[in-house]
């Protein structure tokens, strides 16, 4: 049973560029959440996708956008990159129709903005 997978593992971009990160959920999961983890901090919620729609959004600017595909995989897009966007980006998947959603995390994509 494959867990949550993310690609790429590492990425280097320059300020102003755009980046797309990808996530495949755990088998049987239909909900994907994205988190940003800055160095030395806990993960911060960016948004969650279910049924191809953004279900909830954290306190992140519109430069951060996402998409969920019919196969439940998801992309995180960040436009006009800033130095402060350098972080580990974590994807988590869960099952919507459970009474409680337990989120399982992937290994993350480490983004460095120069």
Sites of contact with other proteins (CB under 8 A): 4, 6, 31, 33, 35, 40-45, 48, 55-56, 58, 90, 92, 99-108, 110
Instruction: Specify the residue, 15 or 98, whose C-beta has the smaller distance to other proteins.
Output: 98
Q: Please state, in angstroms and rounded to a whole number, the distance separating the CA atoms of residues 111 and 114.
A: 10
Distance of closest approach, residue 62 Cβ to other proteins, in angstroms? 18
Question: What is the spatial distance between Cα 36 and Cα 94, in angstroms, rounded to a whole number?
Answer: 17
C-beta of 12 vs 80, nearer to other proteins? 12
Place of tokens 């919507």: 96
Residue 47 CB-half CA count within 13 A = 22
The minimum distance between CB 83 and other proteins, in angstroms, equals: 21
Nearer to other proteins, 43 or 113 (CB): 43
Which residues have CB under 8 Å from 26's CB, separation 6+?
1, 2, 3, 4, 93, 104
Question: At its nearest, how many Å lie between other proteins and the CB of residue 16?
Answer: 27
Q: How far is the CB of 106 from other proteins (least distance, A)?
A: 5
């Amino acid at each position: 049973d494959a867990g949550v997978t993310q690609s790429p593992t590492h990425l280097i971009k320059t300020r102003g560029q755009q980046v797309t990160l990808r996530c495949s959920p755990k088998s049987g999961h239909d909900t994907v959440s994205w988190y940003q983890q800055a160095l030395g901090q806990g993960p911060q919620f960016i948004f969650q996708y279910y049924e191809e729609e953004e279900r909830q959004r954290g306190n992140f600017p519109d430069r951060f956008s996402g998409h969920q595909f019919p196969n439940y995989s998801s992309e995180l897009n960040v436009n006009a990159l800033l130095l402060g966007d350098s972080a580990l980006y974590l994807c988590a998947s869960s099952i919507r129709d459970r009474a409680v959603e337990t989120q399982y995390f992937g290994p993350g994509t480490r983004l460095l903005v120069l």
